[in-house]
Amino acid sequence: MTRRRDIEASGVAVTYCVFGLLRRALSFRAPLRLTPHRNAGGAELLDRACARGWRG
């Protein structure tokens, strides 16, 4: 979801995860979270996220 009125009408808590160079340009407070960079274990993390329905 990208439009504020759609998010508010959904009744679902939406959190945006940000990574990369944007971390220097933004202030992180709800609903914005910084996702740390991972150098290893990425495939396992992706599998867990997909199993929990977090990817999308």
pLDDT tens digit at each of 56 positions of the chain: 678 888 889 888 877 777 766 777 877 777 777 777 778 888 898 898 889 988 75
Coil/strand/helix, residue 38: coil
Give pLDDT, residue 51.
Answer: 92
Query: Do residues 29 and 35 lie in contact, with contact meaning Cβ atoms separated by under 8 Å?
Result: no
Domain segments of the chain as ranges: 4-51
Fill in the amino acid letter for 30: A
pTM: 0.39
Give pLDDT, residue 36.
Answer: 76
33 Cβ neighbours under 8 A, 6+ residues apart:
15, 16, 17, 18
